[in-house]
Amino acid sequence: MKTSLFGDLIKGIWKENPVLVLLLGTCPTLALTSSAINGLGMGIATTCVLTGSNLVISLIAAITPKKIRIPVYIVVIAAFVTVVDLLMQAYAPASLYEALGIFIPLIVVNCIVLGRAEAFASKHSPLRSIFDGIGMGLGFTLTLTMLGVIREFLTGGAVFGVKLIPAWTTDFLLPGAAPGAFIIVGCILAVKNYFNRRAAIRSGMLYVPPQGLNCRNCGICRISDDK
Amino acid sequence: MKLRNKDSMPVLGGFLGAVALLAAAVLAMVSQLTAQPIKAAQERNRQQIFHRLGLPEFDRAGVGEESGEVMFFTVFKGNEKVGFVGQGSAAGYGGAIEVLTGFDRNGKITGVQILRHRETPGLGANVCERKFQRTIFNLTARAPEVPANKMLDQFTGKNASESGNWQVAKDGGKFEYLTGATVTSRAVIGAVDDIAAGFLVWRKKIEGEGRK
């Protein structure tokens, strides 16, 4: 069982990274990563909620009637988010709460949390669910922090508030705003898929993109008709 | 019996109700536990920012008194009034900007700070934020308590009695504004003007009360 628990923990960081592979939680990803510290703070807050809600949901999944499981999960998640919100108000540095404050309640509707509740926690043991929550949260935190570092650097040559290029005095506004975030996330996705694909081809297997990114599973445009 | 059915309405409703009740109970408990620390943290933040207004040395702040749109606080050293703080707001580019202005006993502005704003980073935010820029060359230097901001510092030393039509240079006034952030500059200058004008009215009122 050891390998499986470890697998639950690390799959969220790369193989099933919630932002880069599952493409969940795009709203906080774009809205909150204008600086590295904001991305880190949001990631940690989400990790706390995700771990707690995964634990409780895996405990009550067996007795929850199927028909009302979504409202029940939402109540559990909302309770955890409110607890995190209150704790942050009481103990977090004022500047961090100021920056994240209005986004904390939005963790309730972050699809990562509900997605993991529905796809993992409701079907697995509490212990595995905790590890899944921590792993997914870690993947989310790392991605958000990375994105924050990139955006903060491209905006003003700074990382975690420390200017690396002192001569860079005029901010470049695009990467700090949501459109820039979209472009950067797109570039990261492209790079990740390029490496995945190359690795697959080298090992002689057929490359299968994740379901959500596979053109053949989508009927919006006509690309899938090209053979 | 139909009621025994696990999917019947009363069972579902009851279960959801029980979960909600349980969640409410937990929340009530946490809310009670954190009520004190939250209040203390808010008070601490307010005190901290009062200390960055360049006021004469003080050891406590009185409760806020509303006067028009502006909230006024008196700060004391011992029992002596040593200064006043006005808190007002104006509509900026991204919502309300909350402005704090410190006055000494003669009505001279000692400092201006922004309590809250949601202006565009890099443009409007530059008007509102007092930021000490850390670079790799001053990594270990101590940040000044009140980093300079030429937009906010231009009020320092002006007396409230000169207020009434403080405007940005673009509108024919004598105050600087930041290019690309005219809306924010206008809002901040307007807010300080309102606070200063309101301060004169409020001071007259409390002095009147003091004499009675």
Residues in chain B with CB shorter than 8 Å from the CB of A64 are 15
Amino acid at A169: T
Alpha carbons A205 and A197: distance in angstroms, whole number: 10
Mutation target among B12, B39, B118, B131 for the A interface, most CBs of A within 10 A: B12
Calculate what percentage of chain B has a pLDDT beyond 90: 29
Which of A75, A161, A176 is nearest residue B23 as measured by Cβ atoms? A75
Evaluate if residue B1 carries a pLDDT over 50: no
| Interchain contact, B31 vs A71, CB within 8 Å | no
pLDDT digit string, tens, across residues A143-201? 999 999 999 999 888 888 888 888 887 888 888 888 999 999 999 988 988 888 888 88
Q: What contacts B36, CB < 8 A, 6 or more positions away? A: none
Can you say whether residue A157 is alpha, beta or left, with left for phi > 0 and alpha for psi between -120 and 50 degrees? left
Structure tokens at A219: 């009927």
Q: What is the mean pLDDT of residues B46-55?
A: 84
Higher pLDDT, A11 or A221: A11
Q: What contacts A154, CB < 8 A, 6 or more positions away? A: A172, A174, A175, A180, A184
Residues in chain A with CB shorter than 8 Å from the CB of B120 are 173, 177
Of A216-220, B26-30, B46-50, B137-141, least confident by mean pLDDT is A216-220
Strands B96-104 and B60-61: unpaired
Reference B50, options B84, B18, B5, B6; nearest CA is B84
pLDDT of residue B4: 55
Most confident of A20-34, B38-52, B118-132, B176-190: B176-190
Query: Do residues B160 and B196 lie in contact, with contact meaning Cβ atoms separated by under 8 Å?
Result: yes
Evaluate if residue A202 carries a pLDDT over 80: yes
Q: What is the mean pLDDT of residues A209-221?
A: 55
Alpha carbons B190 and B194: distance in angstroms, whole number: 6
At residue A28, what are phi and psi to the nearest 5 degrees? -65, -30
pLDDT of residue A219: 52
pLDDT digit string, tens, across residues B67-105? 888 889 898 888 888 999 999 999 988 888 999 999 998
pLDDT of residue B80: 87
Alpha carbons A145 and A54: distance in angstroms, whole number: 23
Q: What contacts A143, CB < 8 A, 6 or more positions away? A: A17, A18, A19, A20, A29, A43
Q: Is A130 helix (H, G, I), strand (E, B) or coil?
A: helix
Q: What contacts B151, CB < 8 A, 6 or more positions away? A: B126, B127, B176, B177, B178, B185, B188
Mean model confidence pLDDT for chain A: 83
pLDDT digit string, tens, across residues B104-161? 988 899 999 998 888 887 788 888 888 887 888 877 777 777 888 888 898 888 888 8
- Would you list which residues of chain A are within 8 Å, Cβ to Cβ, of chain B? 34, 60, 64-68, 71-72, 75-76, 78-79, 82-83, 86-87, 89-91, 94, 98, 155-156, 161-164, 166, 171, 173, 176-177
Evaluate if residue B52 carries a pLDDT over 70: yes
pLDDT digit string, tens, across residues B30-49? 999 999 998 888 888 877 88
pLDDT digit string, tens, across residues A64-110? 888 888 899 999 999 999 998 998 888 888 777 877 777 788 888 78
Mean model confidence pLDDT for chain B: 86
Q: How confident is the model at residue B210 (pLDDT cuts 50, 70, 90)?
A: low
Evaluate if residue A223 carries a pLDDT over 60: no
Evaluate if residue A224 carries a pLDDT over 70: no
pLDDT of residue A204: 78
pLDDT of residue A13: 83
Residues in chain B with CB shorter than 8 Å from the CB of A98 are 116
Residues in chain B with CB shorter than 8 Å from the CB of A65 are 6-7, 11-12, 15
Q: Is B149 helix (H, G, I), strand (E, B) or coil?
A: coil
pLDDT of residue A227: 42
pLDDT of residue A1: 43
Q: Is B143 helix (H, G, I), strand (E, B) or coil?
A: coil
| Interchain contact, A86 vs B121, CB within 8 Å | no
Going by the DSSP 8-state scheme, the letter that residue B112 receives in this structure is E
Q: How confident is the model at residue B18 (pLDDT cuts 50, 70, 90)?
A: very high
Give the C-alpha distances (Å, rounded to integers) separating B3 from A50, A71, B13, B19. 35, 21, 12, 20
Strands B134-135 and A162-163: parallel
CB pairs under 8 A between A and B: 79
Calculate what percentage of chain A has a pLDDT beyond 90: 30
Evaluate if residue B211 carries a pLDDT over 80: no
